[in-house]
Structure 1
Amino acid sequence: MEFTGERYVPTEQGEIRHEHMHRYAWCVPLVADKDVLDIACGEGYGSAMLARRARTVKGVDVAQSTVAHARVAYGDIPGLEFQCGDAAQIPLDDNSVDVVVSFETIEHHDRHREMLSEIRRVLRPDGVLVISSPNRIVYTELAGHHNEFHVKELDFAEFDAVLKEQFGDINYFGQRLAVGSSIFTLQDDAPERTLDALTDTGSEVVERAASLADPVYFIAIAGELSGARKCLRPSVLFSEAEDLYTHHREVARWAVGLEAEVHRLRDLHGQVVADHKKAVTWAKESGKALDDLRTAHAKTVADHEKVSAWAQRLDVELLASRKRIDELTKAREETVAWASSLNRELNELREAHGRTVADHQKLGAWAQGLNAKLEEMHEIHAKTVADHEKASAWAQRLDA
C-alpha cells in the first residue's frame, strides 16, 4: 500500500514510525482476551498487533480499498477481521466490544460528537476507550506545519470537553519523541524487561521517569479505568533497527554537502548575473539595431508600394501597347495583301502593254491611220505608267 500521508504504513521509518508503533504496542496489555474495535484502522498493522493478544479485533476504515488491502495483508491472523465503515456511524451492534482504539482519527473529520457517541454506544458498560489526538498548539501552530489531511485539530481543552460529554472518568497521557541515552547489556542471556528510569532536568539527573512538557499528541483513556490504570503506565520505545542520531549525523553530512553546493550555486549565480548584465547590454544594442531594421523595413515597404503602383501602371500601358501593336500588325497584313493584289494587276498590265507594243509594231503602217486613236492610247498609257510608278513606289515603301 502506497504511503500518501493520510494513513501510516509500516514501511515508513523515522519519527512517524516510532509514534504510531509505540501507541499500539503500549495498549496491547489492555486488550488481552478482550473484544476490540480499531476504528479508522488504516493499513491494518495496528489491528494485527492487537489481535495477537485480544480475543477478537474488528478493524474498521472508511476506505474500501484500504480495507481490501488489510484483508489480504493480515487475513490469516485468527480473530481479526476488517470491514468498511464510518467513524461517526460505526457498523457494530450496541454493547459489542470491550475496548475501542482510535489513534489519529478524530482530527480527520469534524463530526467529533457523533463519533464519540457511536463509540459510547458500541462499548460495553465496563468498556474502555483509548484515543489519541494531535495537540494543535504544538503539532501545527508552534511547528508552523499544516497537515492537508487534517480537518479539525483540537487543543487540550477542546479534546477534554468533547470526551467529557460521553465519559466521566478520563486519564490523560502525552506522547512525543525525546532525546535520551540508553545503557544496555551486551551479554547473550535474555534481555531485561525493566529499565531504571533516570531524568535529566537540565540542571541535574534524578531517579524518576521523565514527564515531558508540550506533548505533540494527547492520549486519553476513558471509561471504566480500574483495570486500565494497572495496564497502561508511562512507556518508552527504543528502536533496535534505526538510530535517529545516526540519521541526524547523516543529515548533518548532507547539510555540509549542501553548503558546498550553495557556494557553488552562489558562484554560478554571480556568473549568471554577469551574463545577464551582458545580455541586457546586448539586448539594448539589439533593440536599437532592431529599431533601425524596422525603419529600413518601413522604407522598403513604402518603396515596394511605390514600385508596385508603378509596375501596375506599366502593366496597363503594356496591355495598351500590345493591343495597338496587334491593331497595327493587322493593318499591315491587310496593306500587304492589297499591295500583292496591286502587283498582280501591274503584272497583267505589263503583259497587256507588251502585247500592245507587239501589235503596234505589226500594225505600224495601219496605225498611222489610227494616229489620233494611238495618241489617245498614248495618253492612257502614260497615265497608267504614272499610276503604276506611284503604286510601285508606295508598295516598295510598304514592303520596307
Structure 2
Amino acid sequence: MTNSLINKIRIKHHYDRYEMVKNLVKGGGKKLLDVGCGSPANCVKEGSFLRYLGYGQGIDIKPCNIEFDFKIGDMEDIPFEGKKFDVVTAIEVIEHVNNREKALEEVYRVLKDDGIFVMTTPNNNLFFRTFWWIWERTIGKEWKDTHLTTLTKKAWLKLIKKSGKFKIKKIINYWGINLIIKMAKI
C-alpha cells in the first residue's frame, strides 16, 4: 500500500470516530472542552475534532495553532475552574496519561452537574494488541511506546464504576480496536 492510501484510511478512521462522538454529544450551544485537541496523527491537523464540530475549547500538552480558545494543559490537571463545561471529550488521550484515576477526577471536576464525558481509547484485546504490535513496527513508528496504559473493555468499566463519578450511558466498539464510551456525571 502506498503512503497516500494509508493516510486516506487513517484520516477516514479519525473522522468516522469524530462523527460518532459528535452524535453522542449532539446539541448546539453546549460548552465543550476537547482534551488533547492537538494533532492525533501526522496526517490529521491539530484541532481537527473542534473544527469538525465547529465549536468548543481545547487543551493539549503542546502549543496548538487553532482557531478555537486554547490552553496548554493536560488531562491530569485541566486548567479551568470547576463545573464549567457541559461536555468534555478526550479522543485517544487517556491511554497517554500516567494517572487514569486523576484524569477522571479532573474531568468530573470541570463538568457541570448534568455534564457528559465522551472518551475514545484502545480496547486492549488480542486483536488490538496484534494490530498495535504490527503498527508500531511498520507504518506507525511515530507512536511506538507512547501508550502508557491500555485496558480491556472490562477493565475500563471496572475503573469507571470504581471512580464513583460517572454512569456509563453508551459503549461503542469501533473496528474491534477502539472503545467509544459516553458517560454522565453522577
> Which segments of 5 or more consecutive residues in structure 2 lack a partner in the other structure?
1-5, 39-45, 137-142
Misfit runs of 4+, over 3 Å: 141-147
> Which segments of 5 or more consecutive residues in structure 1 lack a partner in the other structure?
1-11, 177-214, 226-400
Measured against aligned partners, the alpha-carbon deviations of 1:100-129 in whole angstroms (never above 9, x if no partner) come to 111000111221001010001101111101
Whether 1:221 and 2:174 are equivalent positions in the alignment is no
SS in structure 2 at match of 1:136: coil
Specify the alignment match of 1:36 in structure 2.
Answer: 32
The answer to which structure has the higher helix fraction is 1
SS in structure 2 at match of 1:27: helix
Structure 2 matches for 1:1-400, cutoff 5 A?
Answer: 13-29=7-23, 30-42=26-38, 43-50=46-53, 52=54, 54=55, 57-64=56-63, 67=64, 69-70=65-66, 75=67, 80-137=68-125, 138-141=127-130, 144-145=133-134, 146=136, 147-148=143-144, 149-164=146-161, 165=163, 166-176=165-175, 215-223=176-184
Does the 8 A contact of 1:169 with 1:224 survive in 2? no
The answer to which structure has the higher strand fraction is 2
* C-alpha distance in 1 between matches for 2:37 and 2:103: 15
* C-alpha distance in 2 between matches for 1:142 and 1:22: 19
Number of equivalenced pairs: 161
Specify the alignment match of 2:139 in structure 1.
Answer: none
- Residues 134 and 94 (structure 1), Cα distance of their counterparts in 2 relative to 1, 3 Å cut: same
Identity %: 25
- Residues 172 and 93 (structure 1), Cα distance of their counterparts in 2 relative to 1, 3 Å cut: same
SS in structure 2 at match of 1:172: strand
Does the 8 A contact of 1:31 with 1:99 survive in 2? no
TM-score (norm 1): 0.38
Root-mean-square deviation over aligned CA pairs: 2.0
Measured against aligned partners, the alpha-carbon deviations of 1:37-68 in whole angstroms (never above 9, x if no partner) come to 00001111111122x2x4xx11100112xx2x
Give 1:27's aligned amino acid: V
Does the 8 A contact of 2:21 with 2:180 survive in 1? no
* C-alpha distance in 2 between matches for 1:141 and 1:26: 25
- Residues 96 and 172 (structure 1), Cα distance of their counterparts in 2 relative to 1, 3 Å cut: same
Give 2:61's aligned amino acid: V
* C-alpha distance in 2 between matches for 1:85 and 1:127: 20
Which structure has more RCO (C-alpha within 8 Å, separation ≥ 6)?
A: 2
